[in-house]
Amino acid sequence: MNNKVGTASTAGAGQAGWGPAGAAGRAGGQPPMSRRAKWLLGLAVTLLVVPPLVVGGLLLYAVKQSGRTAPRGVSCEKAMKAIGWQLPPGADGGDCTEHVDSLFPSQWTGTFRMPRAEVAAWLEARPEERHSSHTYGTESLDGPEGSLHARLTYPDSPNFGTGDIDAVTIDFTADGPDHALVAFHTYPD
């Protein structure tokens, strides 16, 4: 008798709707997935997987491309205009460079000479905020080894400078009795 009960229960498990195999051999007895449901599932998986892959690829590209600059010589007048300044009166002997980056705005460096007597007035004419380890008077340029270092930053205002430059460092070094050698470097926003 035990044998018949075991046979009956085994036979009942294979019937439609019974047991783990369910109807037509599918788990849980669920009907087959419709074509529309498969399409929506594929779309959902695609929308979850593809955007992070694209963003990751773009980020990797940006990291690999950044820092690749192509320096090119430009006139110091052009460099000063790019910063939003004018070359000081009496400036000569300029050697300026535009650093073109493949992803970021250009930055500028350069050197030129200007009369020492004009340094303080030229600095005071700059509308940027000033941060300096020295005074702005020409007395710091007095003597054969006089020097002056200043860092000028643009306030967060659309009325100052350009949108691509956040700060400019300027170094003035005595160059003979009447001139100063000016070296500048811009930093991105």
- Residue 94 and residue 56: Cα distance in Å, rounded? 43
- pLDDT confidence of residue 150: 77
Residue numbers in the chain where pLDDT is lower than 50 = 1, 6-14, 18-19, 22-23, 131-138, 157, 159-160
Our measurement of the distance from residue 117's CA atom to the centroid of its chain's CA atoms, rounded to an integer in Å, reads: 39
Q: Which residues contact 2 (CB under 8 A, 6 or more apart)?
A: none
- Summarize pLDDT for 144-180 with one digit per residue, the tens: 667 777 777 766 545 445 567 778 888 888 888 888 8
Tokens of 63: 């990291």
**In the chain, where does DSSP find H-type helix?**
2-13, 35-65, 76-83, 119-124
- pLDDT confidence of residue 182: 92
